[in-house]
Amino acid sequence: MMNLIRDLWFKRRDIVSQGYDDSLEYISRLIPLEIVSVPTGTQCWTWTVPEKWEVNNAYIEDLEGNRLLSLEDHPLHVMSYSLPIDQVVSKEELMKHLYSNPQRPGAIPFNFKYYQRDWGFCIQHNRLESFNEEQYKVFIDTTFEEGSLKIGVCTIPGEIEDVIVLVAHLCHPAMVNDDLTGVAVLVDLAKELMKKQNHYTYKLLFLPETIGSISYLSQNEEIIPKLKYGIFLEMLGNDNIHALQLSRRGNTLIDRVCQYVLKRKVEKFNEGPFRKIVGNDEMVFDGPGIFVPMPSISRWPYPEYHSSDDTPEIITGERLNESKELVLEILRILDLNYYPKRQFKGPVFLSGYGLWVDWRVNKKLNQNLEQIMLRLEGDKSIFDITEDLDMEFDDVLNYINAFEQNGLITRNEVH
Amino acid sequence: MMNLIRDLWFKRRDIVSQGYDDSLEYISRLIPLEIVSVPTGTQCWTWTVPEKWEVNNAYIEDLEGNRLLSLEDHPLHVMSYSLPIDQVVSKEELMKHLYSNPQRPGAIPFNFKYYQRDWGFCIQHNRLESFNEEQYKVFIDTTFEEGSLKIGVCTIPGEIEDVIVLVAHLCHPAMVNDDLTGVAVLVDLAKELMKKQNHYTYKLLFLPETIGSISYLSQNEEIIPKLKYGIFLEMLGNDNIHALQLSRRGNTLIDRVCQYVLKRKVEKFNEGPFRKIVGNDEMVFDGPGIFVPMPSISRWPYPEYHSSDDTPEIITGERLNESKELVLEILRILDLNYYPKRQFKGPVFLSGYGLWVDWRVNKKLNQNLEQIMLRLEGDKSIFDITEDLDMEFDDVLNYINAFEQNGLITRNEVH
Amino acid sequence: MMNLIRDLWFKRRDIVSQGYDDSLEYISRLIPLEIVSVPTGTQCWTWTVPEKWEVNNAYIEDLEGNRLLSLEDHPLHVMSYSLPIDQVVSKEELMKHLYSNPQRPGAIPFNFKYYQRDWGFCIQHNRLESFNEEQYKVFIDTTFEEGSLKIGVCTIPGEIEDVIVLVAHLCHPAMVNDDLTGVAVLVDLAKELMKKQNHYTYKLLFLPETIGSISYLSQNEEIIPKLKYGIFLEMLGNDNIHALQLSRRGNTLIDRVCQYVLKRKVEKFNEGPFRKIVGNDEMVFDGPGIFVPMPSISRWPYPEYHSSDDTPEIITGERLNESKELVLEILRILDLNYYPKRQFKGPVFLSGYGLWVDWRVNKKLNQNLEQIMLRLEGDKSIFDITEDLDMEFDDVLNYINAFEQNGLITRNEVH
């Protein structure tokens, strides 16, 4: 994961841009990736795909030609999707177009105006005071042209066509934790999932935030009914505990599985309702008319957010690995879960089937043998029973699988 | 409102009586009123319409001809629907027919026996001790004859045939707060509602308590399915906070709108469940087989209740106006409320539609833009969304109306 | 009840045995009893009916012929369904087959291995220390042969075919509180129920624990859909408060009636969820695929449980009577309960029908006249209304019966 981050982090990966396309191509060399292209100007529900944007040069000079700020120093110095400009402007005018963050005065903030058509620079707040001339020459050489918004789709077919979708965005230029860490974890998850026989089909999506999700779904509406659950991933490398943002409904199976896994795998984590922790593509997937339950997992907050301080130095592979393992465990449980349906009558003669479990072998299971037997009516999944009885998923799964092997239950496919 | 009260308050407005008919006629000169007549003896579900009752004269004398109590002193001295009598009776016998209230010894209580066929006087409790003769002459000249119970119906047609019904009773003789204040507010509400274009049809009913409601509904059963919500009004002029008695179910839309308006418009108010604050015609409208949600709004309790102390002095126009404004606001919200149904997919590109609201313009709305957008599925009304998000009804209404103007939602008429 | 107990208690009533058959025959002389027989080897769902088992002789001797333990001293000395043996065994081997209870060292514990095919003795724990030889002669003369498991069924037909089933087991040899007290109370309940005209049909079952219920139901599956409610009875004679174990769902009508009756009839009682107090045949009747709500009533716990100390001395007829009365009252309420369905509109003109109740006659009823009238929609039973209004069942029943006599309600048979 760290290699990918080192190779891609400093690129200008704006939403429709060469840097973005190059990054996607890089990923396609790591895992099988279908590239979905949506041309500039395509109407995507209430949105429109923007033009391809490139920045060639940009600087601010005083009228004596002293360069006060230059794109060459840092890609973030130019606001994403800034209009071109070549003009002498008053200090007052310049200040309206200079974005800085007084809370983090030594860092260049990340700013963007994808749809508002404006020009702008981003600058360290503590450098503003040195701007005390009356006029400045501002120069931005950007181009807007027909292009294509691109979505990378890694599909891993499973036993059924129902899809669990995992999403990370790739469009934050020259930053790492937000958003390359989600991308890196997704690439590794793809590799792990490809090694397994899965029940669900998995789709791992790499895309520009919001407009990428909207473009993909609006141009591929036939996929929507197949999307069963989703997870959004981002900001996973910094040194903070995990933050679980629940899905819109907040109590769907995937929410409860996320809670179950986090409770067992990490000492502490934050939890909050939909859109109350971080806002990303879950507002599209779990939004109006789509409504695919999509929790989001991150390590929000972190102080370097949306600034030039979000560099490889603030993340570690150890954190990324930890997050990857969490998601793998969530997916493992979802994948193994099913609805057992009783095929026997009366309490089962357990010892006759080798289904008796001594309390010295597993006390909790021993205490719950009858309780499990009473919950095999096809309306409760293995995970529901696990929760009901406050047990371990694998204990319940293995025990009920033994019922299946004895022909005592079948799998009820109606979820 | 005060004119109506001054003109009508001292009349004997018993349930079927000339005074009642005259009062209804008086109201019909103020607002358009259909008079529904139901003749004496008509079977109304399990009830029967009583005879028209008049009282001409009544007194108690000692055997020397000293008049101890006389109808001429106060109409309430004769029990409503008293039988006639002309007889010398023992003190013991008289006492069984003298009604007084030891809790309010200086006032004549209001008593009635509409269906029990008995004679009786009402008297100040502190005058009882002066009755120390052995025998008295009692004289009551009342007549029972064929007549018609009358209901005044003011119908204000709206866009739809569904009806909101407002009810006040008019049958409490020579008293003011109970029940003329409800009548006075209803007359003014009719005037206000007639000035507007309304979504609902409104019916404002003036009638004798209980038997009036039962007569009206039983003889006009075809109206019942159209009755959507109702409010009962009474005791609105005294100097007390409002008392909101919820409907039978207690959590219907109109209950919640009443709570919402009262919380915002008055500093304090009492609230209680159905039939636990005051009992009136809501037991008919919201009763067996009818079940129209009907909260009741009053200023219960007040010390002069059901006595000769319930006079114009204990009420003010200011209180009546305050109550009227509350009801108007409740009706305004009910009338404007609707179920918005999403016609878009994905999160709306708000700024493209001018639907972005800056937090400096309306912070609460700004914070809830997404939350509103997620609740446009046609199963939540504007008011439901208002409650969900603890917002102001008009903010939500205006914002969602803007969605409608952009073709982003339609109105779902299924309530 | 005490006669039955004295006559039967010391018999070896093992699950398929002569002592069991004799006991059932004894009961059939007290009440009408259909005997259902299920032969050895019959497959009963996942179970198989065991062989008839008899024990003729059994002892342990040292090699000098000193008899250390003998069946003649107490029937419980041989483990139920022990295999025969005639062998000299090491002390170590013997100890694996000697069952004792260190918590109750002076009593012979009750042990059984119906399905595991093993031999064993049961012995007072404080006698173990005297076993210090190296070898012992063990002799058990038991026979396993074809037989029939027998269930005694007392059916008391009622107005409808729906059945309330009462269950007690009869298979615990030489003990009293568990399980003869449940049997004794059941016999008396049969006598009482036969004296009445009942709405429900009653079935009172006497059977061996678990395998008896499974045998009966599996061989008579057509009965299952008719079983509406059940009660399991056991351990009712010891000097302890009652323990109510709720049915699987825990909030069915019979659960709530049990709670209602116990709250009113006894000062204190314990209550717990399904299978958390005592485990008996309710796991069959209220178990997988059957799901007949079956609370259990006992006086669990008691210190002499499953030991030779469970003798007639630890129980009293007074306790048994008290339990019987509780059950009778539960059945009376279930039997009288029905769903009243309104046949009137509007509030009833109560005084016209003699349905007015003065507060001086019954204050609680007076306060609830309207509340009762508002609950006659056919979706609430008399008992539901009783609970809703925290009233007495008979007050509500008698009052609503008076509505029925006036043609104001009908009985809604859909339960």
Model confidence over B111-145: pLDDT tens digits? 999 999 999 999 999 999 999 999 999 999 999 99
Kindly report the length of chain B.
415
| pLDDT reported for residue A1 | 86
Look at B284 and C353 and tell me if their CB atoms are within 8 Å. no
pTM reported for the whole predicted model: 0.95
| Cα distance between residue C180 and residue C177, in whole Å | 6
Q: What are phi and psi of A306, to 5 degrees?
A: 55, 50
Find the residue in C nearest to B249 (Cα): C374
Nearest to A379 by CA among B348, C291, B270, B235: C291
Q: For C320, which DSSP code?
A: H
Interface of A with C in 372-391 (CB under 8 A): 373-374, 376
ipTM given for this complex: 0.94
Give phi and psi for B38, each to the nearest 5: -130, 115
Rounded CA-CA distance B167/B209 in Å is 10
Percentage with pLDDT > 70 across chain C:
99
Judge: A347–C115 Cβ closer than 8 Å, yes or no. Answer: no
- Give the model's pLDDT for residue A134: 95
Q: Does any CB of chain B come closer than 8 Å to the CB of residue A47?
A: yes
Q: Across chain B, how many H-helices and E-strands are there?
A: 11, 18
| Residue C180 pLDDT > 60 | yes
Q: Which residues contact C158 (CB under 8 A, 6 or more apart)?
A: C197, C198, C199, C200, C201, C202, C335
| Averaged pLDDT for residues B81-97 | 97
Which chain C residues have a beta carbon less than 8 Å from that of A402? none
* Substitution target from B341, B342, B348, B349 for chain A, most A beta carbons within 10 A: B349
B346/A248 Cβ within 8 A:
no
- A216: its two tokens: 């993909």
User: How confident is residue C414, by pLDDT bands cut at 50, 70 and 90?
Assistant: low
Residue A180: which of A18, A317, A276 has the closest Cα?
A: A317
Nearest to A253 by CA among A166, A328, A332, A337: A337
Confidence of residue C409 (pLDDT cuts 50, 70, 90): very high
| Mean pLDDT, rounded, for C382-394 | 98
- Mark which residues 184-243 of A lie under 8 Å from B by CB: 210, 213-214, 217-218
Q: Is B370 on the interface with A (CB under 8 A)?
A: yes
List, in order, residues 6 or more apart from B17 with CB less than 8 Å away: B52, B53, B54, B147
Report CB contact under 8 Å: A344, C283. no
Against chain C, the chains showing at least 3 CB pairs within 8 Å are A, B
Q: Does A290 touch chain B (CB under 8 A)?
A: yes
- Residue B1: pLDDT band (50, 70, 90) is confident
Which of C341, C349, C353, C408 to mutate: most B Cβ within 10 Å?
C349
Nearest residue on chain A to C48, judged by CA atoms?
A349
Report which of A244, A199, A260, A254 is spatially closest to residue A392, judged by C-alpha positions. Answer: A260
Partner residue facing B346 (CB), from A46, A48, A248 = A46
pLDDT under 70: residue ranges of chain A: 414-415
B partners (3+ CB pairs within 8 A) are: A, C
The amino acid occupying position A61 is E
pLDDT value of residue A412: 85
Close Cβ partners of A284 (under 8 Å, ≥ 6 residues apart): A210, A213, A214, A217, A290, B346, B347
Which residues, in sequence order, are bridge partners of residue B271? B244
Q: In the sheet that B85-90 helps form, which strands lie side by side, from edge to edge?
A: B67-70, B52-62, B135-145, B85-90
Whether B46 sits inside 8 A of C353 (CB atoms) is yes
Mutation for testing the B interface, residue in A43, A45, A46, A282 having most B CBs under 10 Å = A46
pLDDT in tens, B214-253: 999 999 999 999 999 999 999 999 999 999 999 999 999 9
Mean of pLDDT over chain C = 97
> What is the DSSP-derived secondary structure letter of residue C329?
H
Please report which confidence band the pLDDT of residue B415 belongs to, taking 50, 70 and 90 as the band edges. Answer: low
What pLDDT is attached to residue C412? 85
pLDDT computed for residue C101 by the predictor: 97
Strands (E), C12-113: 34-39, 43-44, 47-48, 52-62, 67-70, 85-90, 98-99
Question: What's the mean pLDDT when you consider all of chain B?
Answer: 97
8 A C-beta contact, residue B27 and residue B152 = yes
Angle at A115 between CA A109 and CA A119, to 5 degrees: 55
Cα(C359)–Cα(C233) distance, integer angstroms: 41
**B1: nearest Cα among B31, B36, B25:** B31
C-alpha span between C374 and C45 (Å, rounded): 48
- Determine whether the interchain pair B345/A288 forms a contact, defined as Cβ–Cβ distance below 8 Å: yes
Q: What is the pLDDT of residue C415?
A: 55
If one counts every other C-beta atom within 10 angstroms of the C-beta of residue B87, the result is: 11
Contacts of B343 in chain A (CB under 8 A): none
Would an 8 Å CB–CB cutoff place A115 in contact with chain C?
no
Chain B residue numbers touching C347 (CB-CB < 8 A)? 210, 214, 283-284, 287-288
Contacts of C115 in chain A (CB under 8 A): 349, 351-352
In the predicted structure, residue C250 carries a pLDDT above the cut 60: yes
- Which of B346, B351, B374 comes nearest A248 by C-beta? B374
Mean pLDDT calculated for residue range C7-21: 97
C-beta atoms of B345 and A45 within 8 A: yes
The CA distance from A255 to A247, in Å, is 7
Looking at beta carbons, which residues of chain B come within 8 Å of A46?
A: 344, 346, 348-349, 352-353, 408
Cross-strand bridge partners of residue A145: A52
Cα separation, C338 vs C358, in Å, equals: 26
- A287 min Cα distance to partner chain B (Å): 6
Residue B290: closest CA among chain C residues belongs to which residue?
C346
A131 Rama class: left (phi>0) / alpha (psi -120 to 50) / beta: beta
How many C-beta neighbours within 10 Å does residue A118 have? 13
C292 to chain A nearest CA, in Å? 11
- Which of A342, A351, A374 has the CB atom closest to C115's CB atom? A351
* Residues whose CB is less than 8 angstroms from the CB of residue A338 and which lie 6 or more positions away in sequence, other chains included: A381, A382, A411, A412, A413
Residue (of C151, C165, C204) closest to C31 by Cα position: C204
Question: Mean pLDDT, to the nearest integer, of B58-73?
Answer: 96
Q: Report pLDDT for B401.
A: 98
Is residue B368 predicted with pLDDT exceeding 80? yes
